[in-house]
Amino acid sequence: MKFIIPLLAIIGIVSCYLPKASDYDTKNLEIVKNCEEKHQIKDWEKNIWWDWKIPSKPTRCYLACIMSAFRWTDRKGNPRLNGIKKSYKAVGHECSAPDQAFFRKNCGKLPANPCDKAVLLYACFLVRSPNLQHFKDAFDGKKDTK
């Protein structure tokens, strides 16, 4: 009995960090949800992504699914600047949308595989964005998200 109570408490704490249906409240987050379902993302991995981190072994092509659906990348996984800028503009951050110089300066040589490229682009956004909050807003499709 002494073991069960702490175990249930831990399960309760961990499960409260999972995204709820009400968290998918924008078109972008609906896309995220669809890609989570399509790629069968496990709860532990969702927790990492939703904390704006990258799992050590992310599910293959999950981010490529999202970025392609956002129209942030083309079929080969290359950045589509107009799609990215449109997302930034939709949340009032058009001036801080990354341009070609940002990708050349900060992201290095991108791999050929679109799935690998998507993870590297996402990492580049997280680590090198001059304003991380603007990236998060554009990604979520709503202003001033955390």
Give me the CATH number covering residue 91.
1.10.238.20
Query: Has residue 56 been placed in a domain?
Result: yes
Specify the pLDDT at position 3: 47
Of the ranges 4-8, 70-74, 140-144, which is most confident? Answer: 70-74
How far apart are the C-alpha atoms of 135 and 93, rounded to whole Å?
9
Report the domain count for the chain. Answer: 1
Query: Has residue 114 been placed in a domain?
Result: yes
Is the per-residue pLDDT at 1 higher than 80? no
Is the per-residue pLDDT at 143 higher than 60? yes
Higher per-residue confidence, 111 vs 4: 111
Query: Has residue 15 been placed in a domain?
Result: no
Query: Has residue 130 been placed in a domain?
Result: yes
With a threshold of 0.85, does the pTM exceed it? no
**Which domain covers residue 66, as residue numbers?**
25-140
Is the per-residue pLDDT at 116 higher than 70? yes
Query: Has residue 35 been placed in a domain?
Result: yes
Query: Has residue 14 been placed in a domain?
Result: no
Query: Has residue 20 been placed in a domain?
Result: no
